[in-house]
Amino acid sequence: MGKTYWMLVTNQENLDITRARGFSLQGIDTKNRKKAVRMGPEDRVLYYVSDKKGFAATATVTSESFEDHEPIWKHHREKETFPHRVEIDPDVVLEEADYVDGYQVGPTLEYVKKWSPDLWPLAFFGMLHIIPQRDFNFVEGELRRVNGDAPLPPKPAREQKEVVAVANGSVPSAFEMAVEKHRSKRRFLVSSKSRKSSHRRRNKRHR
C-alpha cells in the first residue's frame, strides 16, 4: 500500500510537548482510533495548531501503530491519554512565530473545497484527517520556504533514471530487456496497423 498523508490537529501546549520529546512520538486520541490504527511506516504527518491557526511542522511515521497509556499530552478529560501512538521522525519544524498562516493557506486546499472559504476551519474539526498528497506537498513546501530550506528536487524523468543507472554501472536484467523488447514490438505493431487503416480509408475515398 502507498503512503498516507495525514493532517494532525493539535494545540500549542501539546505541540510543545511533542517538540520537547524531539518529535519522536505522536499520540492520537481515542475518538480517532479507527484512523490511528491505519498509520504506518513512511506515512507523512502535517501538524496544524488550532489555537494559533497555523501550520507548524511535518514528520514521517517510522513505526506501526501501537497502544500505550502513559500520560504525556494534555486533555480536558483526564481519562484521555492519546493511547494510539506511532514513532515519528521530524522533517520540517517551525518556531511558533514562523507558522504558516492558516487563513492564507487553508481556503486554497483541495481538502476544504466542500466548505465555503470563510468556514474552512470547520474542515479541521477532530484530531486526525487524511488529506490529498497535493495539499500536503503544497503546505510542506511553504514550511520549507519559511524555514529557508532548499526545495525538494523533482523526481527524475525515465530517461534521466536510465542515464544515472548507466553511469552507476547498472546493467538491465534479461527480464527487463525482454519486457522492453516486447513493448517496442507492440508499439511497432500498433503503428503499423494505424498506417494500414489510414491506407485503406484513402483507397476507399478514391474508388
Mean pLDDT of 141-147: 97
Question: Is the model's pTM score more than 0.85?
Answer: no
Residue pLDDT, tens place only, 32-88: 999 999 999 999 999 999 999 999 999 999 999 999 999 999 999 989 999 999 999
Q: Domain 5-147 belongs to what architecture? A: Roll (3.10)
What is the full DSSP assignment across 28-86? E-GGGHHHHTT--TT-EEEEEETTTTEEEEEEEE-S--EE-----S--SSTT----EEE
Domain ranges of the chain: 5-147, 158-206
What does the block give as the cell for 60?
514521517
